[in-house]
Amino acid sequence: MKFIKLFFGIAFIFPLALLAQSRASVNIQNNATLDRKEAVVAIKWNAVLSKYPQIDTANFVVINSVTKKQVPYQLEHIGQKAVQNLLVQVDVKATSTLSLSIQKGKPETFVTKTYARYVPERKDDFAWENDKIAFRAYGKALEKEKDNAYGFDVWVKRTDRMILNERYKLADYHTDHGDGLDYYHVGFTLGAGNMAPFVKDTIRYSGNYQQWKILDNGPLRTTFQLSFDSWNAGEIKVSATKTISIDAGSQLNRIENVYTFEDTKPMPVVVGIIRRPETGVLSLNEQQGIMGYWEPTLGNNGTTAVGSILTTPVTNMSVDATQIIAKTTVENNKPIVYYTGAAWDKAGKITNSKQWFDYLNNFNQQIKNPLVVSIK
């Protein structure tokens, strides 16, 4: 009889052990009073492995525990061979918790919502986009041309499709063929929210980027690095690396800059937005570090909105004839993070200045009140 009892005890425990290894449960908690829509959330891959060590990266699904539907996901590497994070895109209502299940299954084919590439056929452009908006940075080949520019460029779009390759192939991206166009002028300014040293009350522009590296390329998040050779920033020798991420569903990029310079004191830097000579609408909030600009309408091309959010203390914001700038400081070899991006009224989502400024304010609240992830 003792042998029979022991046998049944083992038989009861063994399936539970198998079950524990066949799935992981994730809770995503929104403590803020704002709904989070189309949020891309990072779940530490090591945490997933600790609960689901037998997971097969090619044969698993993420299931919404309420709707029982699959949730789009991406394995994020951040330039590493090993997986760093599991990214999921979800909606989480205000002051509520969303439950997900990670389990064995055949994943659906998820639509690509972010993308970036180096564009050697267009003078070393580096271009990137998501399902809302697109951007580009200028490369070394353009430095020799009369139409060189310094800042970030905006390519407005009114489709959720990835359109960069189509536009470059067509080579007529200054014309709207139904999905948007490039009509944003950058010139010798910081454009749509680039950053540069601000030494002796002067913006010290770098040359164009010299090297690039893609760390992840969709479908939910694209991350890449642009490296800049050293330059003279007002008698300070400076070099820089900019790591840029764009998430599906977001109008803004996350930018992490690392400046290297020979000085023990913090170096002043500015984030800048080009200002048009015609009348637009400005919203400047030094305390919160938010710059918002609703540009003047440019004929049939419509209106571009541009905005930046700094996460470090802003010493001041100012406006002159050509740019809107926010000043802060950075330490040698220490990353500084901020957000910058754009929207287009003809995309039909953000169609006036109030909606744009509200978007920036809400985005700032999301930065300060991130979703809380727990796994079991």
pLDDT tens figures, 237-265 = 999 999 999 999 999 999 999 999 998 89
Is 374 within the bounds of a domain? no
Residues 185 and 207 in one domain: yes
**Mean pLDDT of all residues in 207-211:** 97
Here the CATH number for the domain that contains residue 58 is: 2.60.40.1180
Contact predicate 127/182, CB 8 Å: no
pLDDT score of 10: 40
Residue 373 lies in a domain: no
Q: Would you state the pLDDT for residue 22?
A: 86
Residue 270 pLDDT level (bands cut at 50, 70, 90) = very high
- Based on the fold, state whether residues 184 and 306 are members of the same structural domain: yes
pLDDT per residue over 120-154, tens digit each?
A: 999 999 999 999 999 999 999 999 898 899 999 99
* CA torsion through residues 106, 108, 112, 113, sign: negative
For residues 8 and 131, state if they share a domain: no
Q: What is the pTM of this model?
A: 0.94
338 found inside a domain: yes
User: Does the pLDDT of residue 209 top 70, yes or no?
Assistant: yes
Assess whether 259 and 363 both reside in one domain: yes
Q: What is the mean pLDDT of residues 319-343?
A: 97
Q: Which residue has the tokens 């929210």?
A: 193
Spell out where 77-139 has E strands: 85-92, 96-104, 114-119, 125-130, 134-137
> What is the Cα–Cα distance from 170 to 333, expressed in whole angstroms?
41
Q: Is the pLDDT confidence value at 300 over 90?
A: yes
- Residue 14 scores a pLDDT above 90: no
pLDDT, average across residues 289-309: 98
Tell me the C-alpha to C-alpha distance, in Å, between residue 308 and each of 125, 195, 240, 320, 351: 22, 10, 20, 17, 18
Average pLDDT of the residues in 57-85? 97
Domain range enclosing 73: 2-109
Work out the end-to-end distance of the chain between its first and last CA atoms, rounded to an integer number of angstroms: 37
Which of 64, 83, 109 terminates a domain? The answer is 109
- Note whether residue 359 is domain-resident: yes
> Residues 216, 323: one domain?
yes
Domain shared by 205 and 303, yes or no: yes
The mean pLDDT of 60-85, rounded to a whole number, is 98
Q: What mean pLDDT comes out for the span 83-100?
A: 98
Q: What is the mean pLDDT of the chain?
A: 94
What integer pLDDT is reported at residue 249 of this predicted model?
Answer: 98
Q: Is residue 95 part of a domain?
A: yes
Let me know whether 283 and 138 are in one domain.
Answer: yes
* Cα 354 from Cα 91, distance rounded (Å): 23
Per-residue pLDDT at 3 exceeds 60: no
**Using CA atoms, how far apart are residues 207 and 133, in angstroms rounded to an integer?**
25
With beta carbons less than 8 A apart as the criterion, state whether 325 and 284 touch.
Answer: no
Listed residues 109, 142, 157: the one ending a domain = 109
Q: Which of 87, 109, 131 is the last residue of a domain?
A: 109
C-alpha dist (Å) from residue 296 to 68, 207, 273, 279, 340: 46, 29, 14, 6, 19
Residues 218-241, mean pLDDT to the nearest whole number:
97
Q: Are 13 and 139 in a shared domain?
A: no
Helix, strand, or coil (residue 209): strand
Residues 334, 353: one domain? yes
How many structural domains is the chain composed of? 2
Q: Tell me if 255 sits within 8 A of 242, measured CB to CB.
A: yes
Give the confidence band of 20 by pLDDT, cuts at 50, 70, 90: low
- Report pLDDT for 51: 96
